[in-house]
Amino acid sequence: MINKFFFTISLFTGFVFHAQNLEKKVEIALQDFFNGDKVSVRIGKCKIFENKILTSSDTGFGGVIGEFYEPNKMLITFYGGKRNVIEKKCNLDLSKDLVLYLRLNDKKSILHVNLHDGKYIGLSKGKNNDFKLLQQNRGFQYD
C-alpha cells in the first residue's frame, strides 16, 4: 500500500515537474490583413493547420498561434468565438533553418526562417496574396 502511494506521488511529481520545465522554442502567429482568406501552414513534414479561413482583428491578430516545445510537442491555439487548443507531436530540428510551406487562398509559398533572427515569427498577408514575415526575440502583443 505504501509503495503504491509513493509510486503515485513520484509519478505525479514527475508530470508536474516536466510540464513546468517546458521551454517554448518557437512561436508562429498569423497576424494582419487576412480577410476571409483560406490559409494552410506546414513546417517541414509537420502540418500545423490546413484550409483555415482567417480574418484578422483590428489589433492585427489573425486568430492562430502555434507554439513549439522540445523535444516534439506542438500546441496550436485557434481564437475566435471560442478558444480551441490542439496538441500534436512535431519533430523539428531547431538547429537548422525552418522551412515554412504556406498556402494563401490558392497561392503557394515557401519561406526559410533562421531562428537566430528571433524565435517569435509573425506571418501577415502581403499585397500580392503572399506572406510577409516578421521575426523578433520577444512575443507579440495584441491589444
Q: What is the DSSP letter of 61?
A: -
Q: Pairing mode, if any, of strands 98-104 and 35-43? A: antiparallel
Distance of CA 50 to the CA centre of its chain: 13
How far are the Cα atoms of 18, 36, 51, 109, 131 from residue 128, in angstroms, in the given order? 44, 15, 19, 12, 8
Listed in sequence order, the residues at least 6 apart from 74 whose beta carbon sits closer than 8 Å to its beta carbon are 46, 48, 66, 67, 68, 87, 88, 89, 90
Burial class (CB in 10 A: 0-12, 13-18, 19+), 69: middle
Residue 21: which pLDDT band, with cuts at 50, 70 and 90?
A: low
What average pLDDT does this structure show over 16-37? 81
pLDDT of 17? 37
How many CA atoms does the CB half-sphere of 82 hold within 13 Å? Answer: 1
pLDDT on residue 19 = 46
pLDDT tens, position by position, 91-116: 888 889 999 999 999 999 999 999 99
**Predicted local confidence at residue 116, as pLDDT:** 93
Q: What is the pLDDT of residues 116-131, one digit of tens each?
A: 999 999 999 999 999 9
pTM equals 0.82
> How high is the pLDDT of residue 12?
38
Please give the pLDDT value at position 14. Answer: 42
